[in-house]
Amino acid sequence: MSTYDEHMERVGHNKALLDFLEIHEGHSVFSDWFVTVAFYTAVQRVEAMLFLVKPQIRGRVGTTTAVEHCNGHRERSAVIGRCFENLYFSYTALYGYSRIAKYRCYIPGPPNGKNAKELLQDIEAKCRDVDGRG
């Protein structure tokens, strides 16, 4: 299981790629990758938050293992929906963008890249509100 710091290192790594893509108009040209990297940045940020708050939410999730490290997107979405409703919309919207880009061979337009960045920023802010960090 990764630690808070390890998840946050990955957040920084992924955000550096998003910055690079944005500087080089990649959020337009490679918008499919932009939304996908934005989503996986959100995954790492949520996992970092869960690492810090897992003892407090175990009873709300109904299991002792579900929040040690989420085993996939469905489980993570369920934990977010059950315990962090304010994150749910942004997280699932960004997940949807990523799935469409990844599995339906869809190249989202530039507005979707901008929206993906805004959704990621919202997720990061809400995670900070919960865990008081990063």
What is the average pLDDT value for the chain, to the nearest integer? 85
Q: What is the pLDDT of residue 95?
A: 94
- Structural domain boundaries, residue 106: 4-131
Pairwise pLDDT comparison (19 vs 60), residue with the higher score = 19
Q: What is the pLDDT of residues 30-42, one digit of tens each?
A: 888 899 999 999 9
Question: Taking 60 as the threshold, does the pLDDT of residue 15 lie above it?
Answer: yes
Assign residue 112 the CATH number of its domain: 1.20.120
DSSP H helices, the chain, are 4-23, 26-29, 31-61, 73-83, 85-103, 110-131
Q: What is the pLDDT of residue 57?
A: 72
Give the closest residue to 107 by CA, choosing from 56, 35, 21.
35
Question: Taking 80 as the threshold, does the pLDDT of residue 65 lie above it?
Answer: no
Q: What is the pLDDT of residues 75-117, one digit of tens each?
A: 899 889 988 999 999 999 999 999 988 888 777 776 677 799 9
pLDDT band (50, 70, 90) for residue 66: very low
Q: pTM of the entire structure?
A: 0.87
Residues 6+ apart with CB under 8 A from 127: 45, 46, 48, 49, 87, 134
The total number of structural domains that make up the chain: 1
Q: What is the pLDDT of residue 64?
A: 46
Question: Taking 60 as the threshold, does the pLDDT of residue 27 lie above it?
Answer: yes
Question: Taking 60 as the threshold, does the pLDDT of residue 63 lie above it?
Answer: no
